[in-house]
């Protein structure tokens, strides 16, 4: 039996701000229980919903030397979906109204505390991991500590570490003096081949230097981050660690996202009956949003954070052209003001065709996946992306740019071979995107049998967590030398 501990800053259902929480909360339950005991450790945030706080059971507490003083660390635990979760308690650090703040220095102090507390708590919880699997910069110092102050004890001997990059843009950087004080690490660690980067201290870099293995959330992103454009100034280090770096694509929860049982849809459907039933969702959504009731209008969905990363400048550039076509565009999300206002403007200008829903609603997101004909994701970069996986699951044909996880999960339609699960374009170019939309629209209107076969193949693709779990298991076996 191999013991694995996931250390992370968030996990569903307890606390979530993004895709990281889905990975940490969904993946552990999918490992083969007879070979792997996978548990999770996260901070005990005060902003967790009360019903989850009520589930927590106190285990013990202790005091730990941190930032020049003796600091309280409480340990709680809960069971969820057959997985044991541990929670590190300290009200001073985790009592805010959200898991992260806009103050990078304060977040560094809190998460360096968390990293040190994770290791200090292990001997007290009756669980001895063979591997600690760290996620993103918030746990980046755990691999460093395993090499440093925790390497002496018998308990930590031979313990391996893995770090997963969910988004390389966020690295936890601040001046060397401050990070040195918080971390308690000696000057030895603040050299250019260790934690120092461009005169600052970089917590994620420490994890990437010292972890025994590095993963990221798709094969293509693992290649992209070794180049200067995507590498966020760490491409040299990632090239140097090429042998230890692999990409494993994220999954989605196939129970939560299931068109056959989804209670948020007007009409449930499956791979056999979507030709008859899915259109009923489209009609219902047109009614709900006050769009023209037309079965043959090509309805495109967008559910996203409205940010530069997601390619909305491309959409802005060709929106007037796109609106001349027989399309309907339904947008859901919030983000940068310029994009929120851009979509509001086009909703006003082309009111019969475009709907900007500038808020977030779980129910409306499911309805968009279950109603639209196509789903647009023209991202500049996308480590993995989950929306295209949901779109495939619901038979809503993705139109994506070939980057990161989008390239790995959406197979472009090939009319000569009769293959593919979506449409894609290569260059970050607005008219190339428009060309892909026109091509998809043409197949939808003039080759409906082919279109339905694309939907068939899309709904057949398997991006459930079980597939990813097998790849992680293989990596753990490799790390342990089995």
User: What is the pLDDT at residue 200?
Assistant: 98
**Domains held by the chain: number:** 2
In terms of domains, do 299 and 350 share one? yes
Run of H or E residues at 74: strand 69-80
Nearest-10 Cα torsion for 471, 473, 474, 478 = 140
Between the alpha carbon of residue 153 and those of residues 119, 120, 134, 183, 465, the distances in Å are 12, 11, 21, 19, 35
The verdict on residue 257 lying in a domain is: no
Domain that holds residue 368: 274-462
Instruction: Tell me: do 96 and 236 sit in the same domain.
Output: yes
Residue 193 located in a structural domain: yes
- For residues 180 and 209, state if they share a domain: yes
Looking at the structure, tell me whether residues 180 and 317 fall in a common domain: no
Structure token digits, residue 51: 């019903």
Cα separation of 370 and 258, whole Å? 10
Reported as type and span, the H/E element at residue 58 is: strand 57-66
Residues 183 and 202 both lie in one domain: yes
Per-residue pLDDT, 31: 97
With a cut of 50, which residues of the chain have pLDDT below it? none
239 shares its domain with 286? no
pLDDT tens column, 199-241: 999 999 999 999 999 999 999 999 999 999 999 999 999 999 9
Q: What pLDDT is stored for residue 335 in this prediction?
A: 95
CATH of the domain at 133: 3.40.50.2000
Looking at the structure, tell me whether residues 216 and 95 fall in a common domain. yes
Residues 425 and 474 in one domain: no
Q: Do residues 450 and 475 both lie within one domain? A: no
pTM exceeds 0.85 for this model = yes
If asked whether residues 470 and 454 sit together in one domain, one would say no
What is the predicted pLDDT for the residue at 18? Answer: 83
Q: Look at residue 262 and tell me if it is in a domain.
A: no
pLDDT of residue 153: 80
Asked if the structure places residue 267 within a domain, the reply is no
| CA R_g for the chain | 24
If asked whether residues 98 and 23 sit together in one domain, one would say yes
The reply to whether 115 falls in a domain is yes
Joined together, the tokens standing for residue 11 give 């996990």
Q: Is the residue at 172 inside a domain?
A: yes
Q: What is the pLDDT of residues 432-467, one digit of tens each?
A: 999 999 999 999 999 999 999 999 999 999 999 999
Per the domain annotation, does 15 fall within a domain?
Answer: yes
Question: CB–CB of 142/7 below 8 Å?
Answer: yes
CB 160 within 8 A of CB 128: no
279 by Cβ neighbours in 10 Å (0-12 / 13-18 / 19+) ranks as middle
In this structure, is residue 395 part of a structural domain? yes
The reply to whether 244 and 302 lie within a common domain is no
Distances (CA, A) of 392 to 33, 297, 347, 398, 411: 29, 20, 27, 7, 11
């Amino acid at each position: 039996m191999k013991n694995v501990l996931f250390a992370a800053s968030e996990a569903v259902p307890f606390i979530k701000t993004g895709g990281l929480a889905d990975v940490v909360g969904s993946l552990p339950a999918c490992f083969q229980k007879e070979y792997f005991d996978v548990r999770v450790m996260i901070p005990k945030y005060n902003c967790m919903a009360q019903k989850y706080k009520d589930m927590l059971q106190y285990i013990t507490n202790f005091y730990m030397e941190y930032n020049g003083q003796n600091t309280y660390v409480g340990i709680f635990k809960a069971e969820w979906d057959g997985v044991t979760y541990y929670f590190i308690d300290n009200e001073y650090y985790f009592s805010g109204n959200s898991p992260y703040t806009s103050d990078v220095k304060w977040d560094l102090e809190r998460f360096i505390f968390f990293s040190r507390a994770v290791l200090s708590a292990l001997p007290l919880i009756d669980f001895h991991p063979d591997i600690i699997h760290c996620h993103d910069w918030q746990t980046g110092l755990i691999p460093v500590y395993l090499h440093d102050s925790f390497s002496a004890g018998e308990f930590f001997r031979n313990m391996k570490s893995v770090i997963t990059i969910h988004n390389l843009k966020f690295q936890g950087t601040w001046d060397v003096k401050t990070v040195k004080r918080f971390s308690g690490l000696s000057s030895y660690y603040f050299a250019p081949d260790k934690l120092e980067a461009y005169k600052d201290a970089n917590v994620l870099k420490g994890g990437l230097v010292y972890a025994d293995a590095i993963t990221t959330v798709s094969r293509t992103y693992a290649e992209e981050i070794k180049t200067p454009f995507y590498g966020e100034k760490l491409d040299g280090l990632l090239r140097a660690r090429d042998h230890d770096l692999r990409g494993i694509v994220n999954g989605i929860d196939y129970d939560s996202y299931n068109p056959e049982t989804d209670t948020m849809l007007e009409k449930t459907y499956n791979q056999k009956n979507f030709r008859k039933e899915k259109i009923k969702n489209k009609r219902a959504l047109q009614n709900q949003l006050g769009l023209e009731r037309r079965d043959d209008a090509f309805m495109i969905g967008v559910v996203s954070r409205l940010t530069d990363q997601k390619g909305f400048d491309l959409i802005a550039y060709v929106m007037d052209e796109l609106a001349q076509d027989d399309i309907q565009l339904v947008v859901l999300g919030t983000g940068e003001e310029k994009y929120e206002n851009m979509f509001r403007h086009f909703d006003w200008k082309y009111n019969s065709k475009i709907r900007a829903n500038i808020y977030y609603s779980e129910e409306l997101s499911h309805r968009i996946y279950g109603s639209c004909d196509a789903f647009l994701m023209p991202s500049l970069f996308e480590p993995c992306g989950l929306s295209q996986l949901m779109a495939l699951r619901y038979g809503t044909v993705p139109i994506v740019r070939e980057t990161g996880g989008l390239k790995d999960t959406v197979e472009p339609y090939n009319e000569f071979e009769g293959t593919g699960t979506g449409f894609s374009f290569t260059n970050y170019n607005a008219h190339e995107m428009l060309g892909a939309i026109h091509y998809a629209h043409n197949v939808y209107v003039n080759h409906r049998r082919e279109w339905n076969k694309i939907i068939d193949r899309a709904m057949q693709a398997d991006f459930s967590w079980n597939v990813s779990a097998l790849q992680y298991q293989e990596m753990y076996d490799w790390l342990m030398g089995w």
